[in-house]
């Protein structure tokens, strides 16, 4: 797989919650950090996602907001 995005994080599917249209996928990265992605249920099924499956979280954002106290 080749991709132009620079923010690619490899992890494992920790949990999947299917709704009627969308699915919530929780990905656990090395070190225990979790990222949650909402994708269509059809996409989750097409990817064959299952708990423990290795996946890549590809992050493409035009804005990244930060806050500090």
Give the separation between CA 25 and CA 48, rounded to whole angstroms. Answer: 12
Backbone dihedral region for residue 62 (phi beyond 0: left; psi -120 to 50: alpha; all else: beta): alpha
Strand partners, 37: 25
CATH number of 7-59: 2.40.50.100
The pLDDT of residue 35 is: 92
The pLDDT of residue 29 is: 96
The pLDDT of residue 21 is: 97
Residue 24 has pLDDT above 90, yes or no: yes
Residue 4 has pLDDT above 90, yes or no: no
Give 9-52 as a 3 state SS string.
Answer: EEEEEEEEEECCCEEEEEEECCCCCEEEEEEEHHHHHHHCCCCC
The pLDDT of residue 31 is: 97
* Mean pLDDT computed over every residue of the chain: 92
Residue-wise pLDDT tens digits, 6-15: 889 999 999 9
């Amino acid at each position: 797989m080749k991709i132009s995005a620079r923010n690619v994080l490899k992890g494992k599917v920790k949990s999947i919650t299917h709704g009627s249209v969308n699915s919530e996928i929780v990905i656990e990265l090395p070190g225990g950090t979790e990222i949650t992605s909402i994708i269509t249920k059809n996409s989750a099924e097409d990817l064959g996602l299952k708990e423990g499956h290795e996946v890549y979280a590809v992050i493409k954002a035009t804005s990244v907001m930060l806050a500090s106290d």
